[in-house]
A and B are shown apart, each in its own frame.
Chain A
């Protein structure tokens, strides 16, 4: 068999797959820990409109589908040795942080699907929720810069 030429790392697809996995992972944590185990979140807030429920249904489906699509994209990249390892972590963290921030602002506050926890001073939980998202975004961004610099130096 002829020697295969070295395969170029597919940075773009690695980033997309990692972001999708990050979104799906964060959504799964939300669903499993906060909805099921702690039961802080409610399945449906009293007084939700049908429109808000439909947007919730769409978002929930997106999380599930994106996670599976991301996983298959990673398998496909792995199969042709084209994963860009330095970009997996940053992509994953950006996906997680992006979802957490979006969930905290749009789902909880704008659409009012449910609150973080049904207690007094929910603003405290909101700040922690959105803050955690922003921290993950910041770390992901920092790691992405590092990966880009690493790639720039290795490519002479």
Chain B
């Protein structure tokens, strides 16, 4: 194993943060540019831009060097970063409907190509709620119940991969369950609710398992520290998941109203 102090000095983390900040600024500016470019079409809802900004800002907070440093020393701070990157930032990013914005900005041929690409077999499997849930929640069981977490403390490379996994799997899961973007191949409402339920129960159970049996192991952290981290994961996770359930139910409500008044008043209704 390589020297711990050198790899985790402020330098290494500073580099990770710098790359992360740069990428986020790029994505954020691209979104703003997309909104600006299509300003003559039907106006893009301002609250979607706000959500995207909030999502990017939440990601940025998760990559602040001081917080990353603290997360490396303290499991509770790690859990805060995990919640920010994997659960709260995706809510902002996904409900900002970035794919819809992208489709508006692409020329017709490009948009058709993108839709075709999203409809191909591998992408359909990857974006299925069940796959997304397994990648997201399954990844967490793997991280916290095995020695993976302890290893990540000694490998900046592994630690960066884990951060990236939190962001991608969290966003994929949120999008697969309740994303507002058009998704013609997405399974029905019942299936998505069922997967969300199982994922939530698995997340809550993981929180209790971490607490009861003192996971993740091999960190040298006191039991109280691990338990506090588990409790935070449990209750703050609830909040993010409750928002997802609400988003799914909102879609259900709008569909029922549309069915009650086909083509009528309800179709022009603002989403609350």
Given contacts A64-B241, A65-B197, contact A58 B208 (CB under 8 A): no
User: Is B204 an interface position by the 8 A CB rule?
Assistant: yes
A57 contacts B208, C-beta separation under 8 Å = yes
Contact partner, B211, options A44, A61, A69, A80, Cβ 8 Å? A44
Which residues of chain B come closer than 8 Å to A69, judged between CB atoms? 245, 249
Contact partner, A53, options B200, B205, B249, B253, Cβ 8 Å? B205
**Closest partner residue, chain B, to A1 (CB atom):** B265
Digitize B220-238: 1 where CB-to-A-CB distance is under 8 Å, 0 elsewhere. Answer: 0000000100010010001
User: How many residue-residue contacts, CB under 8 A, span A and B?
Assistant: 68
Of residues 52 through 71 on chain A, the ones whose CB sits less than 8 Å from some CB of chain B are: 53-54, 56-58, 60-62, 64-65, 68-69, 71
Q: How far is the CA of A58 from the CA of B208 in the complex (A)?
A: 11
User: Is B19 an interface position by the 8 A CB rule?
Assistant: no
Of residues 24 through 50 on chain A, the ones whose CB sits less than 8 Å from some CB of chain B are: 43-44, 48, 50
User: Is A72 an interface position by the 8 A CB rule?
Assistant: yes
Digitize A5-33: 1 where CB-to-B-CB distance is under 8 Å, 0 elsewhere. Answer: 00000000000000000000000000000
Given contacts A72-B252, A76-B253, contact A64 B208 (CB under 8 A): no
Which residues of chain B come closer than 8 Å to A76, judged between CB atoms? 253, 256-257
Give the shortest distance, in Å, between B225 (CB) and chain A (any CB).
15
Give the shortest distance, in Å, between A153 (CB) and chain B (any CB).
30
A64 contacts B242, C-beta separation under 8 Å = yes
A48 contacts B212, C-beta separation under 8 Å = yes
Contact partner, A57, options B193, B205, B227, B231, Cβ 8 Å? B205
Number of residues in A with C-beta < 8 Å to the partner? Answer: 22
Q: How far is the CA of A124 from the CA of B221 in the complex (A)?
A: 39
Q: How far is the CA of A56 from the CA of B246 in the complex (A)?
A: 22
B204 contacts A61, C-beta separation under 8 Å = yes
User: Is B1 an interface position by the 8 A CB rule?
Assistant: no
Given contacts A64-B241, A75-B253, A80-B260, contact A53 B208 (CB under 8 A): yes
Q: How far is the CA of A61 from the CA of B211 in the complex (A)?
A: 17
Of residues 167 through 224 on chain B, the ones whose CB sits less than 8 Å from some CB of chain A are: 193, 197, 200-209, 211-212
Contact partner, B209, options A50, A72, A80, Cβ 8 Å? A50
When A and B form their complex, which 10 residue pairs have the shortest distance between CB atoms, in order from nearest? A57-B205, A57-B204, A72-B249, A53-B208, A61-B201, A61-B200, A58-B201, A44-B212, A68-B245, A54-B205
Q: List 12 A-B residue pairs with CB atoms under 8 Å apart, sorted by A's residue number.
A: A43-B211, A44-B208, A48-B208, A50-B209, A53-B208, A57-B206, A57-B208, A60-B201, A64-B238, A65-B193, A72-B246, A79-B257
Task: Report which B residues bind A (CB closer than 8 A).
Answer: 193, 197, 200-209, 211-212, 227, 231, 234, 238, 241-242, 245-246, 249-250, 252-253, 256-257, 260
Task: Report which A residues bind B (CB closer than 8 A).
Answer: 43-44, 48, 50, 53-54, 56-58, 60-62, 64-65, 68-69, 71-72, 75-76, 79-80
